[in-house]
Chains A and B, each alone.
Chain A
């Protein structure tokens, strides 16, 4: 396997202008991955600033309601800024400083990665600009204001589908223009090498903690891991540490209004292999290789492609992939709120929706860990709108 590939997936499909920066970034990432000072600084901030380790919580009433396997939640919603995105954003912001960049940029869909990057920039003292599609700015208005409060400039992307993929295009264009002074904090396990591996490594703390915590709580490994998959960083973060263990893993894509309607973001159910935004992976595309529009109730999953390690894990059968529809996710969103007093992000609600289907089919001695990748405050307004309630 080529070092920048996962089987046939991955690679570095970018304009020449960016190639030297990616090579430089790869070298820096390999160096600092083993650098004791860097790791010490990161670990210190993970503990004192992000609030790690996040807890692994047994969702007793949710479990009782489903009447089957025990459901544990890995509480990334309790990480500073309210989602797992900070794990990667902070890591990359520290790295950017070490390689002498003064400015960081990022794309954002749901706004969580934008908020996390703006937070990292404020903490470390870097200039920060965030690209966000017009459609997403509307449905995630709260996060737009949060980013501005944090001192970042939010740049509206009004071209194409005006969602995450267009925000990534604009970020790549900005990076191409300002590559000498700027680091692009890509928010997921996607894009050109080394991003898929680097982001996974920054997120893998989720699985490392979860493993220790479940061994402490139950004295054994879980039977299932479940996580939602947009680009796929929270899923890789949870799965990575367990890849060598004999347990099942499920990635949940956004089924939108149903696969048959064409309005979804289920790349495995409705896509094929393509090359997009820097890597070879699964993609929702037409017969001419143009990228199709997507739909999901959750902005963070509303994306036409998926990180390249995911199809690799799918081909080998190591991870199963399924999808949850908007309606299923919304039902799970409300169910967890009412049974546990935890309002999940709509993205994470897709993983919960899978648990709603899976847990009742399993006996009570089985254990499922769900990555509760983010909290749902940002989605409250949007869900109210969907339900026709005026706040």
Chain B
């Protein structure tokens, strides 16, 4: 069993929910990203999601777009993020998930990437522009390596799609809470709960919800219906200068909210 699957199993037994904070690797610098990731763990995060910068992040809103631009300006690439993880692994055992677009992986070489990422200590990969329909090779290779291939579901997903994504996804299923891009306004009108219940009728894999979760109150609502909560843009906005009291306080509040 993958480290992420084990984690969700343990949390379920304790009736707890996962806090999954996101940070863009290399914004404002890889050194600061390391401090931020370690601070996440200190504040009780269960999984750390590391963004890999890309020139054309079409699933991301302005906050993460700009963070990617800053990280690229700092010379950060997929290759550098992998060696960064290797370095970070000396300090922590927390499950790490990369969120990257597909072209950097394709250019790196799918097989080589999976082996290198796993060796460095990456536990799972999220690729928003790689639906399972195009991921035959990726699914096979990541399974062999024991790396979780985390696929996404959205409010627009039909039952056919839910079946396909649920069977392909390992580690957890990433449910996109809104029809939109990262950092957009969340709508808590009961529709997320309805969708998640629909997914649960088809699969018993853990479901983490992200896109648009920006306050501890929202995180608390989502934690009531999902197995994990992913917070991205709201953290990226506060993390531009590295770890400070405001960021630490925000993480504590998120942790308190997600039970």
Contacts and interface: CB of A to CB of B under 8 A. Distances in A.
Interface of A: 11-21, 159-160, 165-166, 169, 172-173, 176-180, 274-278, 280, 283, 285, 287-291
Contact of B151 (A12, A16, A287, A290): A16
Contacts of B120: none
Contact of B103 (A178, A179, A276): A276
Contacts of B155: 17
A50 to B, nearest CB: 32
B102 A287 contact: no
Nearest to A172: B58
Interface residues of B, number: 42
Interface string B145-159: 000000111111110
21 contacts: A12-B131, A15-B59, A15-B128, A15-B154, A16-B128, A16-B154, A17-B180, A18-B156, A19-B157, A20-B156, A20-B157, A20-B161, A159-B65, A160-B56, A166-B56, A173-B59, A180-B156, A180-B179, A276-B103, A287-B107, A290-B103
B166 to A, nearest CB: 12
B77 A277 contact: no
Query: What are the 8 A-B residue pairs with the smallest beta carbon separation, nearest first?
Result: A289-B107, A289-B104, A288-B77, A17-B154, A177-B180, A289-B103, A290-B55, A16-B152
Give the residue among B105, B129, B133, B153 with the most A Cβ atoms within 10 A: B129
A159 B65 CA distance: 9
A313 B246 CA distance: 56
A12 B134 contact: yes
Contacts of B108: 289
Interface in B34-59: 54-59
B94 interface: no
A20 B77 CA distance: 32
A265 B54 CA distance: 20
Nearest to B104: A289
Give the residue among B55, B61, B157 with the most A Cβ atoms within 10 A: B55
Contacts of B184: 177
Interface string B53-94: 011111101100100010010000111000000000000000
Nearest to A274: B103
B225 interface: no
Contacts of A177: 179-181, 184
B107 A274 contact: yes
Contacts of B25: none
A165 B58 CA distance: 11
Interface string B173-206: 0001001110010000000000000000000000
Nearest to B162: A16
Contacts of A176: 58-59, 179-181
B91 to A, nearest CB: 25
A17 B58 contact: no
A13 B104 CA distance: 13
Contacts of B179: 17, 176-180
Contacts of A276: 56, 103
Nearest to B100: A289
A17 B154 CA distance: 5
Contacts of B152: 15-16
Nearest to A288: B77
A173 B181 contact: yes
Contacts of B72: 290
A285 B55 CA distance: 10
Given A13-B102, A16-B152, A275-B102, A165 B131 contact: no
A371 B181 CA distance: 39
A14 B103 contact: no
A13 B158 CA distance: 18
Given A169-B58, A290-B54, A274 B156 contact: no
A275 B58 contact: no
B129 A14 contact: yes
A12 B134 CA distance: 7
Contacts of A18: 156
Contacts of A21: 156
Given A13-B129, A176-B59, A290-B54, 16 more contacts: A14-B131, A15-B152, A17-B155, A19-B156, A159-B65, A169-B58, A176-B179, A177-B180, A177-B184, A180-B156, A274-B106, A275-B102, A275-B106, A287-B107, A289-B105, A291-B55
A334 B130 CA distance: 46
B117 interface: no
A165 B154 CA distance: 25
A19 B55 contact: no
Given A285-B107, A288-B77, A179 B130 contact: no
A157 B69 CA distance: 15
Nearest to B184: A177
B203 to A, nearest CB: 15
Contacts of A179: 156, 179
Nearest to A4: B133
A17 B54 contact: no
B165 interface: yes
B176 to A, nearest CB: 6
A15 B58 contact: yes
Interface string B103-138: 111111000000000000000000011110110000
B201 to A, nearest CB: 18
A350 to B, nearest CB: 25
A169 B56 contact: yes
B39 to A, nearest CB: 28
Contact of A285 (B62, B103, B134, B154): B103
Give the residue among A14, A18, A289, A291 with the most B Cβ atoms within 10 A: A289
Contacts of B130: 13
A172 to B, nearest CB: 5
A19 B161 contact: yes
A112 B105 CA distance: 34
A129 B104 CA distance: 31
B106 A289 contact: yes
